[in-house]
């Protein structure tokens, strides 16, 4: 029996995926687990594997199509095997197309010979515009009004080539207001218009985050002089080399965040589709920069990991994310995120929420200052700038400030992080 290949759901908020590229074609024989296409969603590019061995019987959605999660995009099975429901659907579709698209031969001929400047397009008698999914997507990205594009396909259908060859011309009565009206008619703002792949996904995610939450950022610096002394003490006393980030600032900070979230569970939560949910497990996303974008690998059950295990997990996942080999499941499910711009010399900034999370911590560059002790002696202090963004819809300023204060206490008592 033929097996369906569906658009996977890789994250809590993922509703659709973009097909970047098919790695196989109809008629190809594939093995179970073999990558058959590449998709983009949720800030990552991921391969979709064949659910079973067999022949690619039918590819339903093409490269460039955006497809809802769980929708069938292809079929795999034995050579010559029929696809469930496909014959019935094709007959019905053909009949519908014949009924709706039937026009006199003379008007059809006239439509094909009309100049592009007359804005004649492929429409049925009912006014429906015939256009391929890929052509519609390209037109949307370019901001074209498809009603102005002439179609050269069957029954005047608009193809990808028609959109690419289309040259917009100003209409005599066109105004800035009419262009705006076209965008409003689309039903929603096209975030990331003109972008593709991971860059478009990031644009959509960031703009959606800003438009659906009340984001406020608190800034605070924490004295980590004792933390730095603790790190040096551990290096001096531990015989084996510490090569997996066991006592790196990122590892110690992540552990401190987990402990602070235990004390302030209202920030270890999701707010999605009108539902606020505190999460018992602590899964922290660590923002990782790539050459072409940004991903957020998730370290699971941080509160239950030792410093050695946590350091190794952060190092391993970051490396795999940069190589593109990280398990797609580890890009979703985070309950809180950390993003670090300290390496770029930035002190404070305003990180954007990684929705549906309700808080994210930004980490700045380590600062050094001189101070006087009780004996009037000069000594060096180390400060770490922190920026906490939270969703004021569900978290107020006071509990957010208390979380930051708790985090500062954890960092200023570094030996407690070991237990």
User: Catalytic amino acids?
Assistant: 392, 396
**C-alpha 263, offset from chain centre:** 29
Secondary structure (DSSP) of 223-268: E-HHHHHHHHHHHHH-SS---S-TT-HHHHHHHHHHHHHHH-GGGS
Look up residue 351 and give its two tokens. Answer: 């990180």
Q: Give the dihedral of Cα atoms 395, 401, 406, 412; nearest 10 deg.
A: 150
The encoded tokens of residue 352 equal: 């954007």
Q: What are phi and psi of 165, to 5 degrees?
A: -90, -10
For the chain, how are helix, strand and coil distributed in percent, rounded to 5?
35, 25, 40
**Cross-strand bridge partners of residue 153:** none
- Please, what is the Cα angle at 153 between 148 and 154, to 5 degrees? 120
Give the Cα separation of 39 and 59 in Å (integer).
Answer: 14
Continuous segment of H or E residues that includes residue 98 = helix 86-101
Q: What are the strands, taking DSSP E only, across 245-377?
A: 269-272, 275-278, 284-286, 288-290, 293-295, 298-299, 336-340, 359-363, 367-372
Phi-psi region of 235 (alpha: psi -120 to 50; beta: other; left: phi over 0): alpha
44 contacts: CB under 8 Å, gap ≥ 6: 10, 198, 201, 295, 328, 331
DSSP structure string for 137-167: HHHHHHT--GGGSPP-SGGG-B-HHHHHH--
The helix/strand count (H/E) of the chain reads as: 10, 19
CA dist 371 → 269, 281, 374 (Å) = 39, 40, 10
């Amino acid at each position: 029996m033929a097996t369906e290949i569906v658009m996977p759901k890789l994250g809590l908020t993922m509703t659709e995926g973009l097909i970047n590229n098919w790695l196989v074609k109809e008629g190809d024989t594939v093995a179970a687990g073999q990558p058959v296409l590449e998709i983009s969603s949720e800030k990552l590019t991921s391969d979709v594997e064949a659910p079973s061995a067999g022949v690619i019987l039918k590819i339903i959605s093409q490269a460039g199509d955006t497809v809802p999660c769980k929708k069938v995009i292809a079929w795999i099975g034995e050579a010559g095997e029929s696809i469930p429901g496909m014959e019935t659907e094709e007959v019905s579709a053909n009949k519908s197309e014949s009924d709706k698209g039937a026009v006199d031969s003379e008007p059809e001929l006239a439509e094909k010979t009309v100049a592009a400047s007359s804005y004649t397009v492929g429409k049925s008698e009912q006014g429906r515009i015939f256009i391929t999914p890929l052509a519609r997507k390209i037109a949307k990205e370019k901001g074209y009004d498809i009603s102005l594009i002439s179609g050269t396909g069957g029954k005047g259908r608009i193809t990808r080539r028609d959109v690419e060859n289309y040259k917009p011309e100003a209409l005599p009565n066109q105004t800035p207001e009419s262009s705006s009206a076209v965008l409003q008619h689309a039903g929603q703002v096209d975030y990331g218009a003109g972008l593709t792949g991971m860059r478009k996904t990031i644009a959509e995610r960031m703009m959606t985050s800003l438009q659906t939450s009340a984001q406020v950022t608190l800034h605070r610096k924490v004295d980590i002089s004792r933390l730095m002394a603790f790190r040096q003490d551990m290096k001096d006393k531990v015989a084996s080399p510490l090569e997996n980030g066991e006592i790196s600032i990122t590892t110690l900070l992540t552990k401190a965040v987990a402990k602070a979230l235990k004390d302030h569970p209202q920030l270890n939560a999701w707010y999605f589709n009108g539902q606020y949910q505190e999460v018992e497990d602590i899964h922290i996303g660590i923002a990782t920069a790539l050459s072409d974008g940004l991903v957020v690998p998730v370290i699971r059950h941080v509160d239950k990991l030792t410093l050695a295990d946590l350091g190794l997990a952060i190092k391993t996942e970051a490396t795999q994310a940069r190589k593109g080999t990280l398990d797609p499941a580890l890009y979703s499910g985070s309950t809180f995120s950390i993003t670090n711009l300290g390496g770029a010399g930035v002190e404070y900034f305003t990180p954007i929420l990684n929705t549906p999370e309700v808080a994210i911590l930004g980490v700045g560059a380590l600062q050094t200052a001189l101070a006087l002790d009780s004996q009037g002696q000069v000594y060096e202090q180390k400060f770490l700038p922190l920026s906490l963004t939270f969703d004021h819809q569900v978290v107020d300023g006071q509990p957010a400030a208390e979380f930051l204060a708790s985090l500062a206490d954890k960092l200023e008592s570094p030996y407690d992080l070991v237990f």
